Chain A
Amino acid sequence: MKPTKITNSMRALRFANGEMTQAELARRTGVTRQTVIAIEQGRYSPSLELAFQIAQAFGIPLDAVFRYPDDSEEHS
């Protein structure tokens, strides 16, 4: 399976938000705890809708949670 280029700060954001547990984030976004773990570890790319829900759970914009490398920067 091709690894995703998307990276995220979910783990750091959980700790910055009152040490929110994976179970709590899962409850807020309506997914299983295993899905939160898989996203955190880069083993699963969430749908756009789920990505927005995760950002909303932290109260910050989407691109503050998820990042995608800029190819033009990589090649320059």
Chain B
Amino acid sequence: MTFDEKNTWIYGVVALGAYGVYLVTVLARAHGGPVVEVAYIAPMLWCIGAAIVAAILGKVAVSALWPREANHRDDRDREIDRFGEHVGQSFLVIGLVAALVLAMAEIDHFWIANAAYLAFVLSAALGSGAKIAAYRGGFQPW
């Protein structure tokens, strides 16, 4: 597994894990009531912050464990990275368009913020998934 592939796994798992923690926290706080009344901002910010820190620490740990591979990228890594970013970005655009529509329709802030967060998570998770599929299953850039 290359340095980039290891970091891709970390990035995808951390993004999904943090979102899972956020969902569980919000649903637990709702106690079966309407979720729009839940104080979601602090859990969301903590989860986003924790995901960023965890991804950085993960990359540091991978660099420390495999120092010879650290930051060694070749053509294939760069091409797979571009492909994954392309896939991830499409979900980011879809999510942000959804957030825009929700804002124009004057839907509760809770749903707008959650649509944007979900877009970030889908972008990270599906972009990472596409890269891992390319690493594992094969990738023909031509």
Contact = CB atoms under 8 A, between A and B. Distances in A.
Nearest to B76: A35
A71 to B, nearest CB: 16
A72 interface: no
Contact of A2 (B1, B5, B77, B140): B140
A42 B133 CA distance: 15
Interface stretch (A9-17, A43-51, A57-65): A43-51
Contacts of B32: none
B1 A45 contact: no
Interface residues of B, number: 19
Contacts of A2: 140
A44 B137 contact: no
B140 A1 contact: yes
Contacts of A30: 74
A4 B2 contact: no
A30 B141 CA distance: 19
Report which residue of B72, B74, B134 has the largest number of chain A beta carbons within 10 angstroms of its beta carbon: B74
A34 interface: yes
B106 interface: no
Nearest to B77: A32
Contacts of B5: 34
A32 to B, nearest CB: 5
A1 B140 CA distance: 7
Nearest first, the 7 A-B pairs at minimum CB distance are A43-B138, A31-B74, A35-B76, A4-B140, A34-B2, A32-B2, A45-B140
Given A32-B72, A50-B75, 16 more contacts: A1-B134, A1-B138, A4-B142, A30-B74, A31-B75, A32-B3, A32-B77, A34-B1, A34-B2, A34-B76, A35-B74, A35-B75, A42-B138, A45-B141, A45-B142, A46-B75
Interface of B: 1-3, 5, 69, 72, 74-77, 133-135, 137-142
